[in-house]
Amino acid sequence: MGPGVHVLRTLADCHGLRADLDRVGDGRLVVVGGGFIGAEVASTARARGADVTVVEALPAPLSGLLGQQVAAELALLHADNGVRLLTGAQVASLVGEPSVTGVALTDGRVLPADAVVVGIGVRPDTGWLRTGSGIALDTDGGVLCDEYGAADAARTVYAVGDVARRYDPLLGRHLRVEHWTSAVGQADAVARSIAGPGPVAYEDDFFVWSDQYGGKITLLGRPGPDDEATVVRADAPRRRFAVAYRRGDRLAAVLTVNWPKALVVARRATAAPGAADDVVAAWKAL
Task: Report which residue's Cβ sits closest to ligand FAD.
Answer: 161
- Binding piece for ligand FAD, criterion CB under 6 A, among 87-95, 180-188, 255-263, 264-272: 180-188
Contact positions with ligand FAD (CB under 6 A) in 113-132: 125
CB of 63 to ligand FAD, least distance (A): 20
CA dihedral 24, 28, 29, 33 (to 10 degrees): 180
Identify each DSSP E strand in the chain by its residue range. Answer: 5-6, 28-32, 51-55, 84-86, 91-95, 102-105, 110-112, 115-118, 143-145, 164-168, 173-176, 207-212, 215-221, 228-233, 241-247, 250-257
Phi and psi angles of residue 67, each rounded to the nearest 5 degrees, phi first = 90, 150
DSSP state of 61: T
CB of 215 to ligand FAD, least distance (A): 14
Q: Which C-beta is closer to ligand FAD: that of 130 or that of 284?
A: 130
Among 1, 2, 9, 80, interactor with ligand FAD by CB under 6 A: 9
Contact positions with ligand FAD (CB under 6 A) in 192-211: 208, 210
By CB under 6 A, residue 8 contacts ligand FAD: yes
Whether the Cβ atoms of residue 236 and residue 258 lie closer than 8 Å to each other: yes
- Binding piece for ligand FAD, criterion CB under 6 A, among 74-82, 134-142, 156-164, 241-249: 156-164
Among 37, 65, 75, 253, interactor with ligand FAD by CB under 6 A: 37
